[in-house]
Structure 1
Amino acid sequence: MQSLRFAIVCFALSLFLLLNACKAKENISKTIIVDQSGGGNFTKVQEAIDSIPSNNGLWTSIHVKAGEGSNVTLIQWGDFGSSSDSSTFKMYADNFVACDISFKNTHNHPLLLDVDHNVTWAPAALIQGDKASFHRCGFIGLQDTLADWQRRHYFVNCYIEGAVDFIWGGGQSIYQNCNINVTKSRIGSGNAYIAAQGRGTATDPSGFVFKDCVVFGTGPAFLGRAYGSYSRVVFYESHFDDIITPEGWDAWFSRGKEGTLTNSEVQCMGPGASMLNRVKWEKTLTVEALGQLVNLKSFINQESWIESQPIF
């Protein structure tokens, strides 16, 4: 696809974005085809989204005919300077599914060392709606790539690329079987940080849980740094290449108050998973607390909304 930018602003009660190879269940009420060659209902994705009424209460499929898979179907833009407004893709609607597509912010790709291409906020996607899932999708950027802003999200078999806080926000999310590519080599001497989670209080249900993920690329990189006073990030049964800093974590905004943070690695493996020199304040979770976080049902899927979504 040609470079384009779109934002979901319809606040639909139920919006299903079906892209490429996903197979819908019978509860899809309508399918809208986007084809740049003119063979569909619209030639632009934003036009298709705008056609859905704001009071929509039925699942609607938007099928983008631009090849098969996230390596082929790409929505990209090059805005920068704002951690939210500059995002290539913005999703505010509840009840959302995307499959087999990539979102990319082209700022710093390739990295150009001039005033217009400095390393700064340049998100590829901002996800704010509740009950959103992404299957086999790509998120490509350098700083603040994926703004997992708030509410419940499920990322499965996705690819996420960046160097500075490139998975960040106050979302309540599980990342399962995702490939996480750290591109530290693109930022020179600065530090690389994977996750920057913004949980603000002890009762805030949010947090990032990475299950069965693979972390690779160029380092050294911190697994995360605290974007909120009660930041919560857990890596569970994931594989780390030899790119993780010995300390593992940075307290950042909570320096001196590390006791409120929940940063934890459980049963991780690989050359970057050694715990010998990790920060002393890394949390050791109880079996009950760990189970609550890594279990899909108890952490994000309390209403079985994932099973009710029209995919596969």
Structure 2
Amino acid sequence: MDSLIPTIFFLFFFLGTISGAPYNEMKYDFQNYVSNTIMVDKSGRGNFTRVQQAIDSIPSNNSLWTRILINHGLYMEKVVIPRNKPYIILEGDPKHDTAIEYGDFGSVIDSPTFKLFADNFVARNIIFKNSYDRLITPGPNGRKTTWAPAASISGDKASFYHCAFISLQDTLSDDVGRHYYYDCFVEGAIDFIWGNGQSIYEKCQLRSVTDKIGVPGFITAQGRKGLKETSGYVFKDCYINGTGPIFLGRPYRNYSRVLFASTYMENIITPEGWSAWEKRSLNLITFSEVNCKGPGADMSHRVPWEKKLSDQEVAYLTNPAAFIDQEGWLGKQPN
């Protein structure tokens, strides 16, 4: 009889909630519960040997979180998470490198090593790499730089913790949706964070490798298309280093919006800071720096059309709860 008490209590509680207002809240809690864990191990000691196999095994339109644990090692494959596979956590080994790598090139659509289309996604301790730059050689007959993304992120409510994105050109296609990157590493030389995402990068390292291309490069190429669009890139408490010279960004579209706040910049940033790229209406672009430090943060020779944002605008853009986390989705993602 005593063993039935917990079961009876649970049924009483559950049935009571579905008849009243608390049901929606309880349902949402169940949606954020990790219902299944899958192990990927390249040596065969898990459920699958390839990451894509694990993703393919998840039922379409799943409504409960599935955690895919990836044992350390190098996984040479392309990985795609389609739109009908939400609520996935990709988690690598926190103590040893876990890398997903491929070397495709020539297309920002087809070449990314990792492509995310689904909403509600978390990645931790994963290196996403496009290895095409290894093939680049100097001289008229050598391989040239071209589009070679490490990752393309097109889902909403996606977060990345302690991840790395490595390539040379168009490294991270931060394409569309609300995204949060914490303590991540992004390496590239040409437009290595680009697209029309609505994203905050907090305590991230941005590493320039323009020595590989021999000309100035660009960290960002944000693609906001209109004044009413909420997209933009915000870099908060970040660190920029590597080789230079490199511009902080250039406008991919007319209403491009990028803010660097409280970011330390090594002496690799071009004096003008930003490039106009093509002939655009410069008054529509929102490129700004606030409270940045380091030798690369010298503002004395910046372009005259860089925006000076109000304290209220800076507070809004740098606050995740205001800019990207309006429904509190970040705090509700599983640990």
| Whole-angstrom CA distance in 2 between matches of 1:268 and 1:234 | 11
Q: Deviations over 1:53-99 (max 9, x none)?
A: 11100000000011633861111000000112100000001000000
Matched position secondary structure for 1:251? coil
| Whole-angstrom CA distance in 2 between matches of 1:172 and 1:70 | 30
| Structure (1 or 2) with the greater helix fraction | 2
| Whole-angstrom CA distance in 1 between matches of 2:121 and 2:99 | 18
TM-score by length of 1: 0.88
Q: 1:269 aligned to 2:293?
A: yes
| Whole-angstrom CA distance in 2 between matches of 1:219 and 1:240 | 11
| Whole-angstrom CA distance in 2 between matches of 1:155 and 1:71 | 20
Kept in 2, the 8 Å contact 1:70–1:101? The answer is no
Kept in 2, the 8 Å contact 1:159–1:180? The answer is yes
Residue 288 of structure 2 aligns to which amino acid in structure 1?
A: S
| Whole-angstrom CA distance in 2 between matches of 1:224 and 1:164 | 10
Report how far residue 39 of structure 1 moved.
Answer: 1.4
Q: Which has the higher contact order (CA 8 A, sep 6+)?
A: 1
Which residue of 110, 115, 131 corresponds with 1:85?
Answer: 110
Name the structure 1 match of 2:150: 124
Which residue of 319, 325, 331 corresponds with 1:295?
Answer: 319
| Whole-angstrom CA distance in 1 between matches of 2:184 and 2:141 | 32
Q: Deviations over 1:158-208 (max 9, x none)?
A: 0000000000000000000001100010001x2210000000000010000
Which residue of 234, 237, 245 corresponds with 1:209?
Answer: 234
Which residue of 267, 278, 298 corresponds with 2:302?
Answer: 278
Kept in 2, the 8 Å contact 1:103–1:139? The answer is yes
Matched position secondary structure for 1:48? helix
Q: 1:57 aligned to 2:63?
A: yes
Q: Write out aligned runs for 1:81-230 (5 A).
A: 81-109=106-134, 111-113=136-138, 117-188=143-214, 190-230=215-255
Name the structure 2 match of 1:45: 51
Label 1:76 to 1:262 Cα distance change in 2 as closer, same or farther (>3 A).
same
Name the structure 1 match of 2:77: none
Name the structure 1 match of 2:86: none
Matched position secondary structure for 1:32? strand
Equivalent residues, number: 285
Label 1:71 to 1:204 Cα distance change in 2 as closer, same or farther (>3 A).
farther
Name the structure 1 match of 2:271: 246
Residue 109 of structure 1 aligns to which amino acid in structure 2?
A: R
Kept in 2, the 8 Å contact 1:34–1:65? The answer is yes
Matched position secondary structure for 2:312? helix
Would you identify which runs of 4 or more consecutive aligned residues in structure 1 move more than 6 Å?
none
| Whole-angstrom CA distance in 1 between matches of 2:292 and 2:221 | 19
Could you tell me which runs of 5 or more consecutive residues in structure 1 were left unpaired when the two chains were aligned. 1-25
- Please give the root-mean-square deviation of Cα atoms over the aligned residues, in Å: 1.6
Report how far residue 138 of structure 1 moved.
Answer: 0.3
Could you tell me which runs of 5 or more consecutive residues in structure 2 were left unpaired when the two chains were aligned. 1-31, 74-92
Q: 1:30 aligned to 2:66?
A: no
Name the structure 1 match of 2:11: none
Provide the identity percentage.
53
| Whole-angstrom CA distance in 2 between matches of 1:129 and 1:260 | 27
| Whole-angstrom CA distance in 2 between matches of 1:173 and 1:226 | 16
TM-score by length of 2: 0.82
Kept in 1, the 8 Å contact 2:198–2:232? The answer is yes
| Whole-angstrom CA distance in 1 between matches of 2:160 and 2:291 | 25
